[in-house]
Amino acid sequence: MLFRNQVSRAFGCFAFLFLAAFGISSAQTPPANTGTLHEIHVDGFKKLTEAQIIALTELQLNSQVSRDSLQAAADKLVASGLFAHVKYDFRTRGDQVTVNFHVEENSLLPAFFDNIPWFDDSELNAAIREKNPSYDGTLPESGPLVDSAADIIKTLLASHKLNVTVQHQVMQNPLGDGNVQSFAIEGASLQIASIGFGDPSLDQDRAVQAHLSELRGKPYSRLAIDIFLTEQIRPAYVKKGYLRLKLGPPQVRLTGPPSDKLPDKIPVYVPVEAGPVYHFAGVQWSGNSVLTTDILNGAFDMKANDLADGEKIFAGWDRVQDEYGRRGYLEAKIEPTESFDDTAHMVSYSVKITEGGQFKMGAFVLTGISPAADRKIHETFPVLPGELFDKFKFENYLSKLQNKPAQIFGELPVHYETVGHWLRTDPSKGTVDVLLDFK
């Protein structure tokens, strides 16, 4: 009986309550009484399970619920940070209530532990998972789950007589694309004493050893070490065809009882598994109609049985992108998928191309520059309004503005340090506006 009158007046059999991170809206008046929660259902989930999501709501079957308690349960889902959108509906039969939650999950970020060398990643992940069974190494950008993970790490450290503050922040992934949820402690005075490698040749490499001075004696930070490995170590291997290199994660290796206090200066060891050297087998293109296979192969510039130089391969994708940009296809997407033959040590690629639309020059917006300089730019810009937009010409012009301004302004006095630049496309019109901001 409870809910029934409200539901019939508002929607017939169903009442819909919509929630999002920015608030809640409902056309329904809350019922005065409660009903018995008979069933809970969830749809729209992909990574989490229905049981995990129901647990987050803290609703219990056979308990008494009201509109307010269902709303509070949906609020908990929103506040968790795990969901981009949440909405729910309920129905009643007699005094029994069935509620359905419709969710859209947020993208989750890998957890990254920056300067917590007392424990390795597996131990920290296990401690978080013990309190949060749904934890799989990823967390939302914010919310109680992230705060809880920081508290768990702090408690773990406190159990080992380490009284520190644990902070968390979203930051760029030092090992790849996207962001990570980084945890770091404050108040530690740990420094990097040395860095050794699983590949002994790196210990003898003069260039590598010269760069290590950038880390020795500096505060211990996984972020700093990973950036060093990504920028200074990985490229040398990839260039030689070691495309399946396993580098790191960095480890702290100490002698003596585990209960001993960690020294202020700690040695770091980086595991290295170079793997085999690969050669290039070939590339298959799909989705291309504007550029022929011959043009794409020419831009990519790799031949069968060539050493699979990773840097050259990555540069090849950029050159293909440039070929589209020259022809006004500014939103073309190049998506390579690699396939390894571990018996022959060959690598091949299947490349899906989404060419998108072709763009012509639209508006030209300049800010932060004098009227005289404005005229000079309009006179010298290599693409006229209505012409096919050649991105290669645009980028060359930007280079002149930044490095050889006299070629554009002549003796006209101009003063700026940087030039911000944006291309604003309008696919419906097939035009692109150029925005330049002089600072």
Asked if residue 366 and residue 342 are part of one domain, the reply reads: no
| pLDDT tens column, 416-433 | 999 999 999 999 999 999
Q: 377: Cβ–Cβ under 8 A, 6 or more apart, which residues?
A: 366, 369, 408, 436
pLDDT at 427: 94
pLDDT reading at 21 higher than 70 = no
pLDDT tens, residue by residue, 22-54: 333 333 333 447 889 999 999 998 888 899 899
CA neighbor of 347 nearest in space, from 266, 238, 199, 208:
238
Strand 35-43 versus strand 23-26 pairing type: unpaired
Pairing status of strand 15-20 against strand 83-93: antiparallel
Question: Does a cis peptide bond (omega within 30 degrees of 0) precede residue 144?
Answer: no
Mean pLDDT computed over 390-400: 95
Position 262 scores a pLDDT of 67
- Residue 292 domain-assigned (yes or no): yes
In-domain check, residue 384: yes
61 and 36 belong to one structural domain: yes
CATH of the domain at 146: 3.10.20
Rounded mean pLDDT of the chain?
Answer: 87
Nearby residues of 298 by Cβ (< 8 Å), 6 or more positions away? none
Residues 94 and 24 in one domain: yes
92 inside domain = yes
**Rounded mean pLDDT, 95-104:** 92
The burial of 308, by beta-carbon neighbours within 10 Å (0-12 exposed, 13-18 middle, 19 or more buried), is given as buried
Mean pLDDT computed over 239-252: 92
Residues 424, 393 share a domain: yes
| 155 plus 174 within the same structural domain | yes
- Name the pairing type of β-strands 179-186 and 109-113: parallel
Range of the domain at 421: 360-438
| pLDDT for residue 1 | 32
Taking only the tens place, the pLDDT of each residue in 212-243 is 888 989 999 999 999 999 989 999 999 999 99
What total of structural domains would you count in the chain?
Answer: 4
Last residue of a domain, one of 354, 371, 392: 354
Q: Is a pLDDT exceeding 90 seen at residue 133? A: no
Choose one of 52, 76, 105: the last residue of a domain: 105
Q: Is the dihedral of CA 148, 149, 150, 154 positive or negative?
A: positive
pLDDT per residue as tens digits for the range 177-226: 889 999 998 866 788 999 999 999 898 888 888 888 889 899 999 999 99
Domain final residue pick, 133, 165, 188: 188
User: For 138-167, what is the mean pLDDT?
Assistant: 88
CA atoms 325, 327, 331, 337: torsion sign? negative
Asked whether residue 389 is assigned to any structural domain, the reply reads yes
> Using one digit for the tens of pLDDT, what is the confidence trace for 282-330?
999 999 999 999 999 999 999 999 999 999 999 999 999 999 999 999 9
Q: Can you tell me which residue has the tokens 């007046």? A: 9
CA 121, distance to chain mean position in Å, is 20
